[in-house]
Amino acid sequence: MSALRDAVLGLLRVGDRATQVAQSLMARVRLYAEAVDVAEGVTLIGVPIVQRAPDSRIDIGPRVVLCSTSRATALGVAHPVVLRTLRPTATLSIGADTGISGATICAAVSVQIGARCLIGADAMIVDTDFHPLAPAGRRYAGDEGGIGSAAVVIGDDVFLGARCAVLKGVNIGAGSVVGCGAVVVSDVPSGSIVAGNPARVVGTVRGGAEKAR
């Protein structure tokens, strides 16, 4: 009986591997079609959703891992990684060795993510409110000027917990940790642990930064 189970498991593994290879190829084609700048050693697990506004930039640094499937990550993900620039001149950059699981990152101005960051399952990083706050024009707005937007910067070695949200204008200092489900609306000092809604400092990270390669 266990020999049969082993054989079935082996077959499933072969199927999983074949799916992974096909999806990785599809992901490469998608990034190529969107003219995303992809450095060497990037790992694509599943197919991310990528949309680049004309004349904007999306850069993915060396050895970045984008995980868009639940099978490949302990927590599972609710959707593939989403990378979007929303306006011309917007920039979205992901630093070397950063790992991202099913997160959504949207840049209307600029979202800059440092090196060696961990972006937890289904985190959301956005630098815009997407719609004006005034009811007039909120539904069918054409005026980008009325939409609150400001650059987001996430320093090196930052750990974003699962399902947190980082909103417009936030600067997260190097080495910090953002708790699961936190809503970050203001700057986070380097080396802090923040949690809650709105996120507040609840602790300090011990230990130095990981050595860069």
Comparison of 89 and 204: residue with beta carbon closer to ligand COA:
204
Say which residues have a Cβ less than 8 Å from residue 144's Cβ, sequence separation at least 6. 87, 108
Binding flags for ligand COA, 73-102, as an x/- string (CB under 6 A): --x-------------------------x-
Cβ atoms of 52 and 34 closer than 8 Å: yes
Give the CA dihedral 190, 193, 199, 200, nearest 10 degrees: -90
Residue 161 sits in the site that holds ligand COA (CB under 6 A)? yes
Residue 205 sits in the site that holds ligand COA (CB under 6 A)? no
- Catalytic pick among 28, 63, 87, 131: 131
Q: Is-catalytic flag, 79?
A: no
Residue 179 sits in the site that holds ligand COA (CB under 6 A)? yes
Residue 177's φ and ψ, nearest 5 degrees, are -125, 135
Give me the half-sphere count of Cα atoms (radius 13 Å) on the Cβ side of residue 55: 4
Binding flags for ligand COA, 183-202, as an x/- string (CB under 6 A): ----------x-xx-----x
Burial 109-127 (b: 16+ CB within 10 A, else e): bbbbbbbbbbbbbbbbbbb
Comparison of 75 and 141: residue with beta carbon closer to ligand COA:
75
| C-alpha–C-alpha distance, residues 171 and 37, integer Å | 24
For residue 123 the two structure tokens come to: 């985190």
Exactly one of 39, 72, 141, 180 binds ligand COA (CB under 6 A); that residue is: 180
Q: How many residues bind ligand COA (CB under 6 A)?
A: 16
Exactly one of 162, 166, 172, 188 binds ligand COA (CB under 6 A); that residue is: 162
Q: How far is the CB of 88 from ligand COA (least distance, A)?
A: 33
Chain contacts with ligand COA (rule: CB under 6 A): 75, 101, 120-121, 161-162, 177, 179-182, 193, 195-196, 202-203
